[in-house]
Structure 1
């Protein structure tokens, strides 16, 4: 029976993890693009699928009964466990590499994503008029993102030295690489030159150029953060759009709190 998968997503770091994995595994899937700027992720129909109101979300109706999944890390594990018997993006359960993948997956969802997300918020989208608050936020989260990038740089150096590997775990691409990739590609946009981390730069260039991964990155729309980061005008437009979105979210949350 062919998989019957529907992915609710947008062109964002947590979204492209899943499209890249689906493409690399060669799985057929339907994409429903969620408009974050229109706050579709907060609408009742989406909250039925993902009560947390975030992308991505996956619905699997392969066996005739909906399996609904939120959280990108959980979705990656689900795809690996159910649809990767040849271990194209995973390793045999119980093996040392299997648990290393879990390490780096949990590290990303608990550290790299949240910290770098806050870095981007204060650097580009913060709507406060208090420069001290914004400056503290930028320093705090940019420095933490640098620390996390250094952790990845050290890991890649160890992989290269001990296993002659270009990947975070073992000798081939895994969901650990895909989990981190979308965030690392935001390095320059986060104000952190990729050249400061040469092995990480080599890794992101190599992995993002894999044809299936590239197709996943460009689904549901072209992943253009590198181009945005190089253009002052595009960066300004992205910042203004992001700030407007943050303001709308804040106003909605304020209304909910007053009920």
Structure 2
């Protein structure tokens, strides 16, 4: 059994999607980052960077703690032998697109969201800088997906990492995606997967 500590963010949903795809039993625990619950000592003992998601794998004696969404995805893929090719070329392809999401696609759109919507002071230079970088990254992904069904040779943790971000930020800056037919077709293809649909609903918050 795996304990999943998460919230309704793209990074959190990566892991619930992966767990659903892999068919691993898990219990989701809400860490409400809007209330500062990520700073509680009991959560910091699991995720010292005070970020969701994090897991505790109780299949490992003593309970194995893993934080950072990319590290969790790789761990789950290696644990099950699924969603990650075993040959060097296939693994490299998945890993490079996973890193593309972790280092660029997620952080840049996160910064754009902050400076354009959340920040109390609107700084045009910052908004333009991150919007331009987001446009560039969207173009990179769209060109790549224009000739293939999935990010790598087959559906993998790279798709799982990118999907919640692309699905969410499409609503933030729809103009960047209006002509991105490769991404739009991929979003529809991945979004039709039952495990993805289930994972996107985790956690269900009590209102």
Give the TM bin, normalised by the shorter chain: over 0.9
What is the CA distance between 1:198 and its match in structure 2? 1.0
What is the CA distance between 1:189 and its match in structure 2? 3.1
Aligned residue in 1 for 2:174:
192
What is the CA distance between 1:196 and its match in structure 2? 2.4
Q: Deviations 1:11-38 (Å, cap 9, x if unpaired)?
A: 1010111000100111100100111111
Aligned residue in 1 for 2:193:
210
Equivalent of residue 90 in structure 1, options 37, 61, 84: 84
Aligned residue in 2 for 1:45:
42
Are 1:145 and 2:127 an aligned pair?
Answer: no
Counterpart CA distance in 1 for 2:179 and 2:110 is: 20
Q: Structure 1 regions of 5+ residues with no counterpart?
A: 223-259
Structure-to-structure mapping, 1:28-67, within 5 angstroms: 28-67=25-64
SS of 2:34's partner is: coil
Counterpart CA distance in 2 for 1:7 and 1:197 is: 33
Aligned residue in 2 for 1:71:
68
Aligned residue in 2 for 1:181:
163
Contact 1:123 1:190 in 2 (8 A): no
Are 1:6 and 2:3 an aligned pair?
Answer: yes
Counterpart CA distance in 1 for 2:170 and 2:126 is: 17
Counterpart CA distance in 2 for 1:60 and 1:28 is: 10
What is the CA distance between 1:188 and its match in structure 2? 3.3
Counterpart CA distance in 1 for 2:170 and 2:72 is: 27
Deviates more, 1:188-197 or 1:203-212: 188-197
Contact 1:8 1:34 in 2 (8 A): yes
Contact 1:142 1:190 in 2 (8 A): no
Contact 1:10 1:55 in 2 (8 A): yes
What is the CA distance between 1:45 and its match in structure 2? 1.1
What is the CA distance between 1:71 and its match in structure 2? 0.5
Q: Deviations 1:171-227 (Å, cap 9, x if unpaired)?
A: x210000111111112333223322211101111210121111100111138xxxxx
Contact 1:119 1:138 in 2 (8 A): yes
* TM-score in terms of structure 2 length: 0.94
SS of 1:167's partner is: coil
Counterpart CA distance in 2 for 1:205 and 1:126 is: 32
Aligned residue in 2 for 1:251:
none
SS of 2:35's partner is: coil
Counterpart CA distance in 2 for 1:141 and 1:64 is: 44
Which structure has the bigger radius of gyration?
A: 1
Q: Deviations 1:46-94 (Å, cap 9, x if unpaired)?
A: 11110101100011111322211110000000000012x3x3x1211x3
* TM-score in terms of structure 1 length: 0.76
Equivalent of residue 93 in structure 2, options 88, 91, 100: 100
